[in-house]
């Protein structure tokens, strides 16, 4: 630590604890309100598009549940397409959680490593790195659904 | 025998090595920045027709080193050692550039402080009588750094306001025992300083104490003050780190005045959406090889201290909860 204060070896007279406070003071605060509003608007737009697609499939004669599944697949396709075109990361920069949380964001988190690591080959590149971003979501999402499933089974 | 060593951490060169020439190559974003005109070459895109970003970075470094030799009309055979470093695992950009250059090669890793480290080590080799001509080259690349340290480049996420943007750029400097040009008169080798910053999105804050410590020790060793320099430029502290370094120096009794700046603050402007500024070892290398050396040669700056700043962590150490050790190396360049 920085407690060596002799004149021959100068040291900064600030403790790590005090430095932590200084760092907080000098670090710009996240623009939370702006982020929340943008996430709400963009997330809302993405979900509205999803709803439009559901209604479209229903109007073509699909049952409600099947229309939802088809719409989810369509949204995943759109998320993947926009990632491939290099547009989704620009939306993400602007929208934050608004474009991460919907299923299009999940598509983005799988397609972006697939694109990124293609140069390392299809096995150890794409294959091994495909879930670097989405992996934790899958692991804990599936784990949670198992726990909830058990609870549901026991309660009913 | 310890004639050239002054104080605790500083060496003063008996025959200050000359900077014969320099060359900088940058990516499009840096070319559009406020220092765009000072760079020798601006690539149209980051990949430049290569098959991977890593190979593109290595090619960029090679172009910079070749450019520095061409500017001084020096042939490869006249160069004694090549000193190079970058940010990638096992410094592959430098290794692969060295494979093409086929020069005796010393690989360096000082994270973003590598340009200052290379200038210091190169000057020691020359003043020590071990070499006459040394080629120093340092590179970083936004996309190679992103995929190694952070997320896939097409991942849609928001960067923290304290985060910095890794510069795509390579800078090279040709040092010589004789000739005409600015001279490297002294160097202060930094200690690793860790003030327990763990936020990898706030690297400026992690490096600021190391930079402040090196500057403090430099002044103590050499018995000078900030006013004796026309410019003191840290490597890539960015806006957050620069403010913190000034604050730490103030609390240590050193008034940095108005001639203290940071290469990471200079390289981009506010409209470029880089948040806290530039980073990566390409940052200080291209700003030094471009803007700073040009201003020294034009007589605008007489005596400059470049303090390269490096964050010596890895993605593994960060995930394991270790704090980020920082380092700062200073070199003094005089007209």
CATH superfamily for domain B183-334: Stage V sporulation protein AD (3.40.47.40)
Answer yes or no: is pLDDT of A7 > 60. Answer: no
Q: How many Cβ pairs within 8 Å bridge chains A and B?
A: 117
Answer yes or no: is pLDDT of B27 > 90. Answer: yes
Nearest residue on chain A to B160, alpha-carbon basis: A30
Mean pLDDT, chain B, as a whole number?
96
* Cross-chain residue pair A132–B160, CB shorter than 8 Å: no
Chain A residues in contact with B161 by the CB 8 A cut-off are 27-31
What pLDDT is stored for residue A9 in this prediction?
79
Average pLDDT of span B145-170:
92
Chain B residues in contact with A112 by the CB 8 A cut-off are 151-156
* Cross-chain residue pair B147–A116, CB shorter than 8 Å: yes
In this complex, is the C-beta atom of A61 within 8 Å of any C-beta atom belonging to chain B? no
Q: How far apart are CA B166 and CA B179, in angstroms?
A: 34
Nearest-Cα distance to chain A for B152, in Å, is 5
* Cross-chain residue pair A93–B213, CB shorter than 8 Å: no
Q: Domain locations in chain B?
A: 5-176, 183-334
Nearest residue on chain A to B201, alpha-carbon basis: A27
Residues A103, A107, A113, A115, Cα dihedral to 10°? -160
Answer yes or no: is pLDDT of B325 > 70. Answer: yes
Nearest-Cα distance to chain A for B78, in Å, is 37
pLDDT band at A99 (very low <50, low <70, confident <90, very high): very high
Average pLDDT of span B311-332:
96
Q: How far apart are CA B318 and CA B110, in angstroms?
A: 17
Chain A residues in contact with B311 by the CB 8 A cut-off are none
Chain B residues in contact with A19 by the CB 8 A cut-off are 195-197, 209, 248
What pLDDT is stored for residue B281 in this prediction?
94
pLDDT band at A147 (very low <50, low <70, confident <90, very high): very high
Interface test with A, best of B7, B8, B56, B152 (most A CBs within 10 A): B152
Q: Domain locations in chain A?
A: 30-108, 117-156
Q: How far apart are CA B220 and CA B222, in angstroms?
A: 6
3-state secondary structure chain A: CCCCCCCCCCCCCCCHHHHHHHHHHHCCCCCHHHHHHHHHHHHHHHHHHHHHHHHHHHHCCCCHHHHHHHHHHHHHHHHHHHHHCCCHHHHHHHHCHHHHCCHHHHHHHHHHHHHHCHHHCHHHHHHHHCCCCCHHHHHHHHHHHHHHHHHHHHHC
**CATH assignment of B5-176, among 3.10.20.30, 3.40.47.40, 3.40.395.10, 3.40.50.2300:** 3.40.47.40
What are A52-65's pLDDT values in tens digits? 999 999 999 999 99
Burial B230-257 (b: 16+ CB within 10 A, else e): bbbbbbbbbbbbbbbbbbbbeebebebe
Please check whether residue B265 is in contact with residue B13, taking contact to mean a CB–CB distance below 8 angstroms. Answer: no
What are B58-101's pLDDT values in tens digits? 999 999 999 999 999 999 999 999 999 999 999 999 999 999 99
Answer yes or no: is pLDDT of B1 > 90. Answer: no
β-strands B260-262, B81-85 pairing: unpaired
Share of chain A above pLDDT 70, in %: 95
Q: How far apart are CA A73 and CA A48, in angstroms?
A: 15
Nearest residue on chain A to B217, alpha-carbon basis: A10
What pLDDT is stored for residue A1 in this prediction?
35
pLDDT band at A6 (very low <50, low <70, confident <90, very high): very low
Q: How far apart are CA A81 and CA A104, in angstroms?
A: 10
Let me know the angle formed at the C-alpha of A96 by A93 and A101, rounded to the nearest 5 degrees.
130
């Amino acid at each position: 630590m920085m407690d060596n204060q002799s004149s021959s070896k100068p040291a900064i007279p600030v403790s790590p604890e005090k430095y932590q406070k200084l760092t907080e003071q000098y670090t710009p605060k996240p623009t939370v309100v702006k982020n929340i509003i943008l996430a709400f608007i963009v997330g809302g737009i993405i979900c509205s598009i999803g709803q439009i697609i559901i209604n479209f499939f229903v109007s073509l004669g699909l049952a409600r549940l099947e229309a939802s599944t088809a719409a989810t697949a369509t949204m995943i396709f759109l998320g993947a397409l926009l990632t491939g075109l290099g547009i989704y990361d620009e939306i993400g920069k602007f929208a934050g959680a608004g474009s991460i949380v919907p299923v299009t964001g999940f598509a983005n988190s799988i397609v972006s490593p697939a694109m990124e690591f293609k140069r390392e080959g299809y096995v150890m590149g794409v294959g091994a790195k495909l879930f670097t971003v989405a992996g934790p979501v899958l692991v804990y999402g599936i784990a949670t659904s198992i726990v909830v499933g058990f609870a549901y089974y026991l309660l009913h | 025998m310890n004639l050239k060593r002054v104080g605790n951490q500083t060496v003063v060169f008996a025959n200050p090595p000359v900077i014969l020439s320099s060359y900088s190559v940058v990516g499009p974003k840096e070319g559009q920045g406020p220092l765009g005109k000072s760079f020798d070459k601006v690539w149209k895109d980051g990949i430049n027709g290569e098959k991977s970003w890593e190979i593109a970075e290595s090619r960029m470094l090679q172009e910079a080193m070749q450019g520095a030799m061409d500017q001084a009309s020096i042939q490869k055979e006249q160069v004694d050692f090549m000193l190079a470093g970058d940010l990638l695992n096992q410094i592959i950009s430098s290794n692969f550039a060295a494979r093409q250059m086929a020069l005796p090669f010393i690989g360096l890793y000082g994270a973003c402080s590598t340009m200052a480290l290379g200038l210091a080590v190169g000057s020691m080799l020359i003043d020590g009588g071990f070499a006459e001509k040394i080629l120093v080259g340092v590179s970083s690349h936004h996309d190679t750094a992103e995929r190694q340290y952070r997320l896939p480049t097409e991942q849609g996420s928001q960067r923290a306001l304290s985060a910095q943007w890794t510069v795509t750029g390579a800078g090279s400097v040709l040092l010589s025992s004789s000739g005409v040009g600015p001279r490297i008169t002294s160097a202060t080798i930094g200690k690793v300083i860790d003030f327990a910053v763990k936020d990898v999105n706030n690297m400026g804050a992690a490096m600021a104490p190391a930079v402040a410590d090196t500057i403090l020790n430099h002044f103590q060793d050499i018995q000078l003050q900030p006013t004796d320099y026309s410019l003191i430029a840290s490597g890539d502290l960015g806006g957050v780190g620069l403010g913190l370094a000034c604050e730490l120096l103030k609390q240590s009794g050193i008034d940095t005045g108005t001639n203290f700046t940071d290469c990471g603050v200079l390289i981009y402007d506010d409209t470029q959406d880089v948040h806290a500024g530039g980073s990566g070892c390409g940052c200080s290398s291209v700003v030094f090889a471009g803007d700073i050396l040009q201003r020294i040669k034009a007589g605008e700056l007489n005596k400059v201290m470049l303090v390269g700043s490096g964050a010596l962590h890895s993605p593994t150490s960060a995930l394991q909860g270790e704090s980020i050790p920082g380092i700062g190396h200073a070199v003094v360049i005089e007209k």
